Structure 1
Amino acid sequence: MENRTWWKEGIVYQIYPRSFYDSNGDGTGDINGIRQKLDYLKELGVTILWLCPFYKSPDADNGYDISDYETVQGAFGTTDDLSALITEAHQRSLKIIIDLVINHTSNEHPWFIESRKSGTNKYSDFYIWRDGKNGNPPNNWGSVFSGSAWTYSPERGQYYLHLFTPQQPDLNWNNGTVRSELFAMMDRWCRKGIDGFRMDVIGMISKPEDLPDAPVRKGKVYGEWGSLVMNRPQVHTWLKEMNKSVLSKYDLATVGETSGVTTKDALQYAGFGTNELNMVFQFERPDAETENGSKWTMKKAKLSVLKEIFSRWQNDLEGKAWNSLYWENHDQPRCVSRYGDTGKYWKESAEMLAVCLYMQKGTPYIYQGQELGMTNTTFNKPDDLKDVEAVNAYNEMVDVQKMNPELAMQYINRIGRDNARTPFQWSDKPQAGFT
């Protein structure tokens, strides 16, 4: 049954703090910069602010490698700054949801530092450790960001699993103490006044106990583990546990990042009455441009394919679950560059894409700068890149696949994540008024 709720009737605005607005001129966006722009956001008409990670982090993956879940990264400000932001947003009837990255931590998190010391201490089972096989990693899985998904720790004498960078070891969700620690941390954030969570790669928190080898696509080196890991039944058990322990106690908005999700899966995650999440992000639309399992292509999705995907998600969830609607985020290129025209019909393209989004049923998610029709940036050389995924992909294309460097940069420029992470264009002044 559909009931009226603030997150169904709201409009979400996603903020990537380091590139939104720099309040102190040090070249990095910050929490006080967000505070200074709250009136702009209120006037824009959005009602919910989603903050990308602001936590303490070594920044191996732009903050998605967290070393302390309850401390603000110094470059972004202080805990007091964050508390003031929450208060001032609420005074303007703006809700705040925060990124929750709990598939993995940083390798500099105290839990991992202790875990790698020994196989018998309190934290030894907080992560996924395995012995190697004949001097090789435990299985053939590849990392999302290139290379093996396993790294050897001489200190412990075992390999640890990291689906992303080696600096992002995966937590062992089979350990009940890990879940309890994470749920307690979430509860503390709720008591500080936040209004919800965007859950990073939440569909990947469960791994098969035997960690079998994965299929290897022709021409590839590592196994593709998606079918073995994504959206496993155990995820739903743990989300119901999370809901009972934390989420059900507060009036929250929750949305899960769920790669590989189908509409059937979405009903399990976010169907009305499932007691898991409110919404999920589906990837069928961006995945319509992949080839041979890779996002690094020049392929453009056909209009008929996009129409079929949007229609199916609208129809299959009608009356049963709630859609999240998005073109852009911190991981996707600018939609005008991707689907429209950045020249003569730039304005018309931006307006067309906005109408397409808003005329669907669901909660719209706007990424910072999307309201301006911001476009992709041209990166001329790999040294210009900040995104670890793009840097690793470039190196693999050039060094392993022996691709022409100029062609490799064309792929990066088209689909790379740095396109979404350039400074917000506040004005036509130098540095776009960002700093």
Structure 2
Amino acid sequence: MKVSQLKTVLAILIVALLSTQCNQAEQEKTQDIPGEVTIPNCPEWAKNAVFYQIYPQTFYDTDGDGIGDLKGIIAKLDYIKSLGVDAIWINPFFESPFCDAGYDISDYCKVAPRYGTNEDAKKLFEEAHKRGLRILFDFVASYTSIEHPWFKASARQDTNKYTNWYVWNDNTWMNPPKEYQDAFIKGYSERNGQFMRNFYYCQPALNYGFALPDTAYSWQLPTNHPDVLAMRQEMKQVVRFWLDMGADGFRADMAGALAKTANVQGNDQFFNTHEDATKKFWQEIYAMLQKDYPNAFMISEWSYPVDALDNCFHADFYHWFDGYNDLFQKESWRILNGYSEGHSYFDVEGKGDIKNFLDKFLAQYTPTKHKGFISLPLGNHDNARLGNARSDDDLEIIYAFGFTMPGVPFIYYGNEIGMKQLPTSWPQVEGAYKPRNGARTPMQWALGENFGFSTAPADKLYLPVDTATNAPNVASQEADPNSLLNRTRKLITVKKSEPALANYAEFIPLYAKSNTYPFVYARANKNDVVIVVLNPSGKECTATFTVNTPFKSTKTLAGKNLKLNTNDKQVTVSIPGQSYSIIKLL
């Protein structure tokens, strides 16, 4: 791993003493704020990059069919660049029957006609590069569509090249071993046997082998079986195809759901995953990129950074764990399962708990911070929109958190203007189901027909647009210097301009207790130190902490100007309710 050691003489000792109208004063342990950092191995352009996620179906439609397309993304590249982001991740745009919104791929190397052509994809890469933007594609490696030619061949009765490219047992009538019973589909094809799914029935699992095959079941092929290796090699060629065309990397969907085992240990969130055997495939891809595509970037949907950052990926989305829900979506109308789990920390009611999130985050961050990046996405296509029951002021505090935490920030299209979560009674299109359908609605560009998304009749749109006549939209917010759009731009600018807010800069929590506000932490890089104070609750809070290093003054980089009192090494900050402050020590 290439490591850049930044020497420092900075050592800050902070004793956090919180006296607040919200909470009783408590004393924190003394903490070091080191300025020495180790930059994880990754492409130079990604070391402090900010990413923007696009759901292509609903971003911008240029041909009037009611569905967004690649030409629509090209048309909006200048807008995307104006946000201050460096790269774009696009959800799958490949050929598909769209049982699961394109995650059921029937041709990995062909753009779906509704989005355009391969030439349009090449043009997108070229136009993005002209603007200094990078493009990541969505690599769905764990399954294909039932309509993929590989699976159709595998489902035939006769033995052929693709027979073992998917996981099949060998008897339609016999139930699979109990560890796998929920994962198999029977009665689908002429082949005598049942195939394993990796999510919906229409997504048969590619066969990465079994790490510990049971000899009683001949269909459990080992991970080094020739047919397994042949399939894996073909998947590597898919990555090469798009990188050779001009893509700058990929996001790996369900990255942990490859090699199988009956004896699940550790991270068991995916179907019978064997972590070490799964990591081996990604380590091979990682090594391939290091050798042949050193400027390509890999991020995983694994939510287990200890595995994902073990020479497998440059970054890992850390959002499929309950600590992430503690931040934004504990309430029943926000969470996928529809059951209330408590209160979100970033809500004005002030009943949330930051400690559960932080404990779990640190357990992953501490052992991996020198290996790669954790990403806490600011929304995505699988979760309710952050704007669900929140004001623009609430969202600004969330974005202040997202752009000042360590790791690689991703912001979901439309969240920069505060698009709202739309009704769960709306159509369940292409496997979205509530509440995901309400987070995938058309981008709102301007007031007027379909909010500028498409010229198609309203009943032909992929999903309905917001029915509110004054719904957030880009054109209106461009004209308002205090709009959420422009406040988001400012936060990204601050993040990109401050060395202490670099993706790799040190992170030190200063105050984070159960049922307590505010949340206070420091970021440090060499001689630069920034302190972040977040108070999403509706009540004013006061924090006092001792800084054991010389500084002449402080500067508020973003957020409210705090009530500051300094006495020797002590700084006291009073922060109003529903506010935040990003403070630089000078």
TM-score normalised by L of structure 2:
0.61
Q: Which whole-Å deviations, capped at 9, do the CAs of 1:159-189 have from their partners, x for residues lacking one? A: 0000211211000013000011111121121
Q: Which residue in the other structure is 1:303 paired with?
A: 353
Partner of 2:118: 79
Secondary structure at 1:182's aligned position in 2? Answer: helix
Q: Distance in 2 between matches of 1:248 and 1:290?
A: 46
Q: Please provide the CA RMSD for this pair.
A: 2.6
Q: Which of these residues, 442, 458, 476, is aligned with residue 423 of structure 1?
A: 442
Instruction: Name the residue aligned to 1:397.
Output: none
Map 1:238-249 to 2 at 5 A: 238-249=281-292
- Structure 2 match to 1:360: 405
TM-superposed CA distance for 1:316, in Å, is: 4.3
- CA drift of 1:310 comes to 4.3
Counterpart in 1 of 2:376? 325
Distance 1:429 1:294, change over 3 A: closer
Partner of 1:279: 315
The code of the aligned residue for 1:298 comes to S
**How far 1:277 sits from its partner (Å)?**
0.8
Q: Counterparts in 2 of 1:135-284, with a 5 A limit? A: 135-137=174-176, 139=178, 141=180, 149-174=184-209, 175-208=228-261, 211=262, 226=269, 229-230=272-273, 232-250=275-293, 251-259=295-303, 261=304, 266-271=305-310, 274=311, 276-282=312-318, 283-284=320-321
CA distance in 1, matches of 2:181, 2:421: 29
Q: Distance in 1 between matches of 2:383 and 2:450?
A: 22
Query: Are positions 1:106 and 2:145 aligned together?
Result: yes
How far apart are the structure 2 equivalents of 1:427 and 1:306?
37
> Relative to 1, partners in 2 of residues 1:379 and 1:320: Cα closer, same or farther, differing over 3 Å?
closer
Distance 1:169 1:234 in 2: 19
The one-letter code sitting in structure 1 at the alignment partner of 2:126 is: T
Shift of the alpha carbon at 1:132? 4.3
Change in Cα spacing, 1:306 to 1:68, as seen in structure 2 (3 Å) is same
Q: Name the counterpart of 1:405.
A: none
Structure 2 equivalent of residue 376 of structure 1: 421
Cα distance between partner residues in 2 of 1:28 and 1:123 = 34
- 1:349 and 2:394 matched: yes
Which has the larger share of strand? 2
- What is residue 401 of structure 1 aligned with on the other side? none
Please give the alpha-carbon distance, in whole angstroms, between the structure 1 residues aligned to 2:410 and 2:88.
Answer: 10
Cα deviation digits, residues 45-97 of structure 1 (max 9, x gap): 11101111000000000000000011110110111111111100000010011
* Deviation (angstroms), 1:156: 0.2
Q: 1:389 to 1:119 in 2, by over 3 A?
A: farther
Verify the 8 A CA contact 1:130 1:138 in the aligned structure 2.
no
1:295 to partner: Cα distance: 2.6
SS at match of 2:202: coil
Spell out, residue by residue over 1:285-322, the C-alpha distance to the aligned partner (whole angstroms, 9 max, x if none). Answer: 3455499x973312244332334444554444333432
SS at match of 1:204: coil
Relative to its length, the structure with more helix (as a share) is 1
The amino acid across from 1:352 in the alignment is: I
Instruction: Quote the Cα distance in structure 2 between the aligned partners of 1:51 and 1:227.
Output: 23
Unaligned runs of 5+ in 2: 4-37, 210-227, 345-351, 455-586
Indicate the larger mover: 1-10 or 90-99: 1-10
Q: CA deviation at 1:207?
A: 0.7
AA of the residue aligned to 2:102: G
Amino acid at match of 2:251: R
TM-score (norm 1): 0.80
Q: Secondary structure at the match of 1:84?
A: helix
CA offset digits 1:208-243 (Å, max 9, x no partner): 1xx57x99xxxxxxxx97376246110111112222
In the TM superposition, residue 6 of structure 1 has moved relative to its aligned partner by 1.3
- The structure with the larger Rg is 2
Alpha-carbon separation, structure 1, partners of 2:233 and 2:89: 25
- Does the 8 Å contact 2:62/2:71 carry over to 1? yes
Separation in 2, partners of 1:228, 1:350? 35
Whether the 8 Å CA contact 2:171–2:192 is kept in 1: the answer is no
CA–CA distance in structure 2, aligned partners of residues 74 and 52 of structure 1: 15
Q: Is the 8 A contact 1:231 1:258 kept in 2?
A: no
8 Å Cα contact 1:119-1:125 kept in structure 2? no
Q: Residue type matched to 1:87 in 2?
A: E
C-alpha separation between the residues in 2 aligned to 1:287 and 1:296? 13
Find the counterpart in structure 1 of residue 573 from structure 2. Answer: none
In terms of mean alpha carbon deviation, does 107-116 or 225-234 score higher?
Answer: 225-234
| Separation of aligned partners in 2, 1:56 and 1:280 | 26
Residue 259 of structure 2 aligns with an amino acid whose one-letter code is S
Cα distance 1:121–1:134, how it changes in 2: closer, same or farther (>3 A)? closer
- In 2: Cα distance, 1:103 partner to 1:205 partner: 6
Q: Which residue matches 1:432?
A: 451
Counterpart CA distance in 2 for 1:233 and 1:103 is 15
1:125-140 equivalences under 5 Å are 125-132=164-171, 135-137=174-176, 139=178
